Amino acid sequence: MAAAEPFPSQPRLLGTPPRDDRAIARWMRQLSPIRDMLWQQGSARTAHQQLAALQATLPKVMGDDPVAIGANHAYWELVGYACWHRKNYRKAAEAFERADNPFLCGYVHLLEGQLAKAFDALATLPNDGVVTPNLTHWGRILLGLVSGQLQTLPTVLQVRQNLERDVAHLAIAGQQRMINQLCQYAPVLAQVNTETYKFIGRGLLNSGFAPQSESWLLMAHQLNISDPELYYHLGELYVAKQEYASAKRALQQCLMMTDQYPPARYLLAAMAKD
């Protein structure tokens, strides 16, 4: 017997029984933290486990009222994230388009290396309104960074909230050329946010590209030798390189600067057990 598809190709419909709107609302509340974990990348494995369990309880909806439309959009967004993290970016883009989410549609086109399609999707985002302006602005900034056509600068907060995550996603997608182009703008971004080099290095480190992260973390350290978090990340880097003496020194320096940094203490303890 052929294995069942992880997601149905179309939302299942109720038929004649009444829809349970409270179940839909409850399901959508459960989806939100999973979506956030997938978007931030760091908790992808946990998110996938929760996502699979949640998909099994997917409510069956029908109709064109706001509740049904919202649930269908949530459904396709769920499919989009699942396809994204299987690196099936084309299918993810199709799902996000069905979810009426042009930002994520453009984002996964970008991860696929389809710059023209990414530009087209993000061009549909409005320039006004309550929710979308910052998202619109950052999406267009990101396209400018990876294409070498940056026209406007981000804010300090936009760099802090987005740069590290986007570097990680691009690295995992294998878009090395885009990362190289983005990094050409690092000195410019560093004038906006002085932690730019740390964000780039940490994005590479946390996505499994420790060797590529080293120069960025060292540059960040040269700019700010009083940042205890950087000593922790250098410790992580040296552990990845199996340079345990250097890792121990970096982690101890972190704890000398602030003993309120549990990750450094945990990593030291893990090293002592090995």
Listing DSSP states for 138-164 in one string gives HHHHHHHHHHT---SPPPHHHHHHHHH
Domain identity same for 154 and 229: no
Domain identity same for 56 and 184: no
* Interval 40-58 mean pLDDT: 56
Indicate the length of the chain as a whole number: 274
Give the pLDDT score at 179. 96
d(C-alpha 237, C-alpha 194), whole Å: 21
Domain identity same for 36 and 159: no
Domain identity same for 214 and 100: yes
Domain identity same for 95 and 175: no
Domain identity same for 213 and 233: yes
The least confident of 125-129, 146-150, 230-234, 260-264 is: 125-129
Domain identity same for 47 and 181: no
d(C-alpha 65, C-alpha 73), whole Å: 12
Query: What's the token pair of residue 100?
Result: 């009426």
Tens of pLDDT, residue by residue over 161-178, are 999 999 999 999 999 999
Sequence-distant (≥ 6) Cβ neighbours of residue 202 within 8 angstroms:
164, 213, 217, 233
- 1 within some domain: no
Sequence-distant (≥ 6) Cβ neighbours of residue 99 within 8 angstroms:
73, 74, 75, 76, 77, 80
- 7 within some domain: no
Give the pLDDT score at 10. 33
Domain count within the chain: 2
The H-assigned helical ranges of the chain are 21-40, 44-55, 66-84, 89-98, 102-112, 115-122, 133-147, 156-172, 176-184, 186-192, 196-206, 210-223, 228-240, 244-257, 262-273
Give the pLDDT score at 59. 47
Domain identity same for 75 and 173: no
Q: How does residue 114 score in pLDDT terms, banded at 50, 70 and 90?
A: very high
Domain identity same for 57 and 155: no
For residue 176, the number of C-alpha atoms closer than 13 Å in the C-beta half-sphere is: 4
Give the pLDDT score at 232. 96
Domain identity same for 111 and 215: yes
- 145 within some domain: yes
Domain identity same for 74 and 106: yes
Tens of pLDDT, residue by residue over 209-251, are 999 999 999 999 999 999 999 999 999 999 999 999 999 999 9
Give the pLDDT score at 139. 87
Q: How does residue 124 score in pLDDT terms, banded at 50, 70 and 90?
A: confident
Give the pLDDT score at 9. 34
Domain identity same for 228 and 162: no
* Interval 240-265 mean pLDDT: 93
Give the pLDDT score at 222. 94
Chain mean pLDDT for the chain: 80
Q: What angle do CA 86, 208, 211 make, to 5 degrees?
A: 145
Q: Which domain holds residue 68?
A: 23-125+197-273
Of the residues 163, 196, 229, which one is the last residue of a structural domain?
A: 196
Q: How does residue 2 score in pLDDT terms, banded at 50, 70 and 90?
A: very low
- 11 within some domain: no
Q: How does residue 30 score in pLDDT terms, banded at 50, 70 and 90?
A: low
- Which of 243, 265, 241 lies closest to 254, judged by CA? 265
Query: What's the token pair of residue 240?
Result: 């990845």
Tens of pLDDT, residue by residue over 72-103, are 777 788 788 878 878 899 999 998 998 888 88
d(C-alpha 260, C-alpha 6), whole Å: 43
The least confident of 4-13, 74-83, 137-146, 238-247 is: 4-13
pTM check: above 0.75: yes
